[in-house]
Amino acid sequence: MNIDRWTRRATLLLAALTVLLSGCTTYVTTEVTAFSDWSSNDAIRTFAFTRAANQQNNLELTTYERMVANELTAHAFHEVDSARARYLVGVSYGMRSDMVTVAEPVYYNPWPAPYWGRPFDPWGPWGPWGPYSTTYVNQSYPIFTHLLGVRITERATGKEVYNVTARNSGAESSLVRAMPYLARSALADFPLGNGVVHTVKIPLGTSGGAVNEMAATGAAPAAAPAPASGAKIAE
């Protein structure tokens, strides 16, 4: 799955800030984009996963499908064999890495001990004017962007009815560790309206747990069941 060129610079800048603040952050933040032609009064939500021929024995894909299936189940979906399914669900995923360089200040103390420092002065080790900034040093950090796409089509007609993409960036180098957050975020408020872009925040360490906060922008979501337990949505 490719990252749109026009979003790459903004993604990297945001990811750089994420790395710098990783010591105090407590959330995994994921951007979610949805395109939808979902009927709000559908009663039968049976589904089966569909794969390309070269993915039939892909264990990594199987692992991610189970995570997506768990989230779909929370929205009244029931997995059945493909011959009886009303919907076919396709899962795509990917990860890319980049290096981000950030200029960081370097400070020095022009009055080394024993000439400065408590209890001999009231201002601390730098006196009343410090610390003194001398220069900036470039520090490079690896940034990893994780992606998950979920595409739902009607089996009988082949019509695409829902297509959602979840994307997050940070210092996490493992896609499998990022995937629970991506899966929960992608389907956190299913079904979204067409063209909705919003941000989902899930507490770090909950493996895509139920508590999340959303800030939605764009079109209003389509009529849907209540959000997942604990979800908060700010429009």
* CATH number of the domain within which 68 lies: 3.30.160.670
Residue 122 burial (C-beta neighbours within 10 Å; 0-12, 13-18, 19+): exposed
Taking phi over 0 as left and psi of -120 to 50 as alpha, with beta for the rest, 202 belongs to beta
* Domain that residue 64 falls in: 5-100+143-234
Residue 118 lies in a domain: no
Residue 209 lies in a domain: yes
What pLDDT, on the 0 to 100 scale, is given for residue 98?
A: 86
Residue 38 lies in a domain: yes
Taken in order 169, 172, 176, 181, the sign of the CA dihedral is: negative
Which contiguous run of DSSP H or E holds residue 100?
Answer: strand 87-108
Residue 82 lies in a domain: yes
Q: Which residues pair with 151 in a beta bridge?
A: 90, 163
Estimate the crossing angle of helix 175-186 against helix 59-73, to 10 degrees. Answer: 30
Residue 122 lies in a domain: no
Residue 176 C-beta-side C-alpha neighbours within 13 Å: 6
Residue 107 lies in a domain: no
In the sheet that holds 132-154, the strands lie side by side as: 78-79, 46-49, 87-108, 132-154, 160-170, 27-36, 196-203, 212-217, 231-234
How many structural domains comprise the chain? 1
C-alpha 206/C-alpha 215 separation (Å) is 20
Residue type at 143 in one-letter notation:
I
Residue 215 lies in a domain: yes
Copy the structure tokens of residue 168.
């997050």
Residue 47 lies in a domain: yes
| Other residues' Cβ atoms within 10 Å of the Cβ of residue 152 | 25
pLDDT in tens, the chain (235 residues): 444 544 455 454 445 444 434 444 588 999 999 999 998 677 889 999 999 999 999 999 999 999 999 999 999 999 999 999 999 999 999 999 888 787 877 766 555 555 444 555 555 555 555 555 567 888 888 899 999 999 999 999 999 999 999 999 998 899 999 999 999 999 999 999 999 999 999 998 765 544 444 444 444 433 333 334 333 333 3
